[in-house]
Structure 1
Amino acid sequence: MQFEIAYKWVFWLAALPIVVFLILPPLHKKRSGLIAPFFRRAAAVSNQHVKRRAWVSRKNILTWIALCLCWLCLLAAASSPRYVGKPAKKTKTVRSFLIATDISFSMATTDWVVGGRRYSRWGAIKSIMKGFVKDRKSDQVGLVMFGTNAYLQSPFTTDLETVSWLMDQTEVGMAGQMTSIGSAIAYGIKVFKQDTIKQKVMLLLTDGIDGGQDILPLDAAQAAKRDSITIYTIGIGQAKGSGGYDLDEKTLKDIARTTGGQYFNAMNTGQLRKIYATLDKLQPVVYDEDTYRPVVLLYYYPLAAAVLLALAAPLINGIINLFRRSS
């Protein structure tokens, strides 16, 4: 932090009281006098002409010093003294990133092995996804969980730690046992419409086939395209008919292709990490920065001194006059 004065030109006004003193005439004050019954006779005997007079109050040197210091303190406050730190950059949010995750019953299947231990699909995905969310530093991230129905787990926020915490609180089956991909995309579109940022990206993860009855996935994808939403889809497990898993890769590929995104398949945590790394390249974290300098204002110190001096000036003048009269 370094000290600086924002408006140095203010001190050119330091000589203004002197200019006013030289240009303007002094202020004449009238005061009442007591005229004795013999006043006229005394004036006539002494041959003095009686006139009406005014007097100009004289201030002592200490009062003048106090008033001058008060004026200089006011100028110092008006010049805005401050401590200024080094220029820093602040990251602005430039994109909305919505994660729509399948938490139907099939995500509880414990067929993923991490470090020699078996985990459910959702448990393994959740642990890796938190790292992905943590790296989206300039994005505002939202969470939509879906099964039979879709619901909002976290609105768009830049508080990525809270998003990770809410992800931890999500359990399989909370949204129902079926997989409604179309409803999830439609709900995501609704969430995006409440947001003002133009860059919109959705990440859709599922291990099943659409079983919803309301909205077809491709119809929802067309609606997302009209709203300029890019959807990246991740299929968890093997495709339908290649090992007993029920994953509709064709629909997920069509959704991604329709919206200008890309489809990925993840069979294990290693592949999922590679997918997230690829997503980081396809949708890199964009930093839109504002340069700012931390400022600590100090004007109230000279302003407080000016107030104290303004209160002290008449007090000093009164004390000196009191001593003069007593002496």
Structure 2
Amino acid sequence: MMFEFDWPWLFFLLPLPLIVWKWIPAVRKSRSAIRLPSTYGLSGSRQRMSHRWVLLLLMSLCWFMLITAVAKPQWLGEPLAVRAEGREVMLAVDLSGSMEIADMQLNGRSVDRLTMVKHVLSDFIERRKGDRLGLILFADTAYLQTPMTYDRNTVKQMLNESVLGLVGERTAIGDAIALAVKRFRDDEESNRVLVLLTDGQNTAGSLTPDQAIELAQAYDVTIYPIAVGAEEVVVDSFFGQRRVNPSRDLDVPLMQRIAKKTGGKYFRARSTEELKEIYKRLDQLEPIAGDPQQLRPRVSLFYWPLAAAFLLFIVSAMMHYRPWGRNS
């Protein structure tokens, strides 16, 4: 254990009052202007001189204590070994036209797929304390909405501000995977996890999903595809009610192939509850353990010299206004 100052260089300010007094002409010409107001008259007596020296000593000690306080004195405890754990997760969200299908239930009402994904994914982001997150949005093409960051609020805000049709109506799954790989490529310390949320099949983009899978394999990117959408809903038609599958265009074999070849896991989210369970599963996956770090408990002690400076100032003020040597 040891005692130290966080900002010791501030002690170079100790001679500042003397420098101001000696080297600024305006101050030297008006010395009475920097003195505290006094109610007693001028006197050359020995008692008056002694009183001034006491005041000077008290004010000097007050200044010293103020500098000591702002230099941040602190007591350091014994080093503690702490292993940092976190995750680096890129989220890729589908904004294609099919995400507008209102086949999901949220708080007892029907909502479209994107609204449900935003609702549940926002809670997932909020729980990612200590993790770095990024956000990719894709439709006809893919673009990076938020680079990797610890700022969860920004990621959540960018997700909530996304709208359908922003980048087209089709689905470029291959481009979304390739963009995530590109962002992970230069980060050697990352565990390189991509959570891919989509409700359809690859219908656009400059890269096929298989080409993107090869890139992900080459750079050790693990992908967890999440297929969003109900499998059966009841709709009203001219001939009465009938059951339809709104997820008939979902390419399940592709999702399973992506997960298998990249070492991830395929999830199927047919409801809000299932998606929440998927995020709980992801909480338990892909932890990344950092190197052990030595952390030392710190106890701030600035309030002791600050309190001493305050008391010295009060004593100095009382002595200055006391009518020493005043004739009765």
- Does TM, normalized by the shorter one, top 0.5? yes
Out of 200, 204, 210, which is 1:218 matched to? 210
* Structure 2 CA distance for partners of 1:117 and 1:71, relative to 1, 3 Å: closer
Offset at residue 286 of structure 1 (A): 6.5
Identify the residue that residue 262 of structure 2 maps to in structure 1. Answer: 259
CA drift of 1:297 comes to 5.4
TM-score, normalized by length of structure 1? 0.62
TM-score norm. by structure 2 comes to 0.62
Does residue 109 of structure 1 match 2:101? yes
User: 1:170-228 deviations in whole A, cap 9, x for unaligned?
Assistant: 01111211111101101111222354642221100111111135212122122122222
Residues 84 and 293 of structure 1 are in contact (CA less than 8 Å); yes or no, is this contact kept in structure 2? Answer: yes
Q: Residue in 1 aligned with 2:124? A: 132
Q: How far apart in 1 are the matches of 2:76 and 2:119? A: 38
Q: 1:297 to 1:210 in 2, by over 3 A?
A: same
**1:74, distance to aligned residue in structure 2 (A):** 10
Q: Is the 8 A contact 1:204 1:232 kept in 2?
A: yes
Once the two structures are superposed, the pairs formed by residues 167-316 of structure 1 within 5 Å of their partners are: 167-193=159-185, 195=187, 197-237=189-229, 243=245, 245-284=248-287, 290-291=295-296, 293=298, 295=300
| Matches of 2:288 and 2:219, distance apart in 1 | 21
Q: Distance in 1 between matches of 2:271 and 2:110?
A: 11
What SS does structure 2 have at the residue aligned with 1:209?
A: coil
User: Compared with structure 1, are the counterparts of its residues 77 and 129 closer, same or farther at alpha carbon in structure 2 (3 Å cutoff)?
Assistant: closer
Unpaired runs of at least 5, structure 1: 8-59, 304-327
The aligned residue for residue 135 of structure 2 is 143
| Closer/same/farther in 2, CA of residues 143 and 76 from structure 1, 3 Å limit | same
Question: How far apart are the structure 2 equivalents of 1:286 and 1:172?
Answer: 37
User: AA paired with 1:276?
Assistant: Y
- Is 1:6 the counterpart of 2:9? The answer is no
Asked if the contact 1:104/1:177 (under 8 Å) is kept, the reply is yes
- Per-residue CA distance 1:270-317 (angstroms, 9 max, x = gap): 1111111111112358798755526465889999xxxxxxxxxxxxxx
Residue 128 of structure 1 contacts residue 273 of structure 1 at CA under 8 Å; is this kept in 2?
A: yes
Give the deviation of 1:246 after TM superposition: 0.6
Q: What is the alpha-carbon distance in structure 2 between the residues aligned to residue 218 and residue 261 of structure 1?
A: 15
Q: Closer, same or farther in 2 for the Cα pair 1:5/1:210, shift >3 Å?
A: closer
Contact preservation (8 Å) 1:189, 1:224: yes
Counterparts in 2 of 1:189 and 1:291: CA distance versus 1, 3 Å = farther
SS at match of 2:206: coil
Change (3 A) 1:124 1:73: closer
Amino acid at match of 2:252: E
| Matched residue, 1:44 | none
Cα shift at 1:155: 1.5
Amino-acid identity (%):
31
Equivalent residue letter for 2:4? A
The structure-2 alpha-carbon separation of the partners of 1:193 and 1:302, relative to structure 1 and needing over 3 Å to count, comes to farther
Distance 2:272 2:289 in 1: 26
- Conserved 8 A contact 1:138-1:285: no
Equivalent residue for 1:24?
none
Bigger shift: 121-130 or 107-116? 107-116
Matched residues, number: 261
User: How is 1:74-85 mapped onto 2 (pairs within 5 angstroms)?
Assistant: 82=72, 84=74
Residues 210, 149 of structure 1: CA spacing in aligned structure 2 closer, same or farther, 3 A cutoff?
same
**Which letter does structure 2 place at the counterpart of 1:100?**
A
How far apart, in 1, do the equivalents of 2:91 and 2:194 lie?
6
* Contact 1:93-1:140 at 8 Å conserved across structures: no
C-alpha deviation, 1:115, in angstroms: 2.5
Structure with higher Rg: it is: 1
Distance 1:255 1:247 in 2: 14
Give the deviation of 1:80 after TM superposition: 8.4
Question: Root-mean-square deviation (CA), in Å?
Answer: 4.6
Deviations 1:92-148 (A, max 9, x none): 684321100111000000111223211001111110110001111111111100001
The Cα shift of 1:83 comes to 5.0
Distance 1:294 1:125, change over 3 A: farther
Maintained 8 Å contact 2:192/2:222: yes
Structure 2: gaps spanning 5 or more residues: 6-48, 232-243, 310-328
Q: Are the counterparts in 2 of residues 144 and 151 from structure 1 also a CA contact under 8 Å?
A: yes
